[in-house]
A and B are shown apart, each in its own frame.
Chain A
């Protein structure tokens, strides 16, 4: 059963999950290792993460889901341009689910395409959907009404993905939240530290090279002296 697989790999998921979150929260392009991870991550494992997330969102925002379920039945293909995976959101007519899309030809009512950051900003109500529409950061095709309904429904809730995701960890939510925010900052600091070290290392190399040259010169001088001595 799925359940046992989930339990056995739980710690891995959580670990990975944190990385995804850091990426979601921070700027994706800064973390090529996570992009790489998502590229190689099998859809089935990603699906489990998505399931855990939607399960959690369902208990944090019950109204969001009941509102989604009140809409007319529809499916939306969500295509973050900067991720290798696509998602299918099904809502309305009493149900709602988010699945990782498998295969190419998905028969959806509408498609939303855009950078992950734009999609997440819309989810969290930070960016006006209309504005995205006329500034064309999001590309919408298919049944526009479905997308408008979805956007309006998401906008009814104050969603903070970071809070929702960390709350998955129950009593560890607060420390985890702090850890993630810290991790975000920390990752930045590690990067800065490594850069600094690399620069220092470069400097060290340069001085070693200089020293080396110096030694070579000295050696050459000694050698020359020795030759001269032999000759005399």
Chain B
């Protein structure tokens, strides 16, 4: 049956990673952001590249090699992320080109695996890996790391991460990606459609708040992508995840001081500060946006399960309307 922990797994120093930027920031803002990450952020791996919409790619594409070089020079591993939903000829070609240019690739659509043809790579969170058999197929296909989908609960992570054959990465900070689509909801929200979108997604650096009819903030729209409204936060769970065999901890860029966020996570991982203290520090960095962690506990993704000292008494709160 299920093994509670990966005690046999020798875990090296836990790696902190910076996921691909989901939002459509202006080029200047991106350049500033990544130079600050290169100089100050205590992250070991940085994922670059557009995941949401190929129409945005053109704006940053030319700067990508320079930014990657800068990050590498400051000792960070650079991984090139790819689109989560690939449909056009042009997008397929872009993927094939990326695979050829020597970077480690994060595959977010199975199309990528066909292009990689057995080259080592990372399986991104947009490819479903929910069970051991699927994981093993990806491993045999030369995946060196698997980023689990946000929906995977603790009970499954403990099984999937319990292996020496592949590294396991889990998203521990940031809005949780819930769906990808062909349709652009950002355009729809502005009375436009995808083909004539005027890149309106660029107006919302942290995504577009989406409320229910009775005024409860519930989702975040980011172009063709839909994310949670709350920030997914698994700071309290870091040590448990480490125990299970998770090797990489992903911070997904939001429009907050990400270098400072990384510091909080690094210190908590290294047990320099307690999780409680980490939570207090994090709260100061993230403003009014609530935290969620329901998926981890196999509950409504939008809920927050309070971590108590006694494990039997986890307090569950599901956010209700204001």
Touching in the complex, A and B, CB below 8 A? no
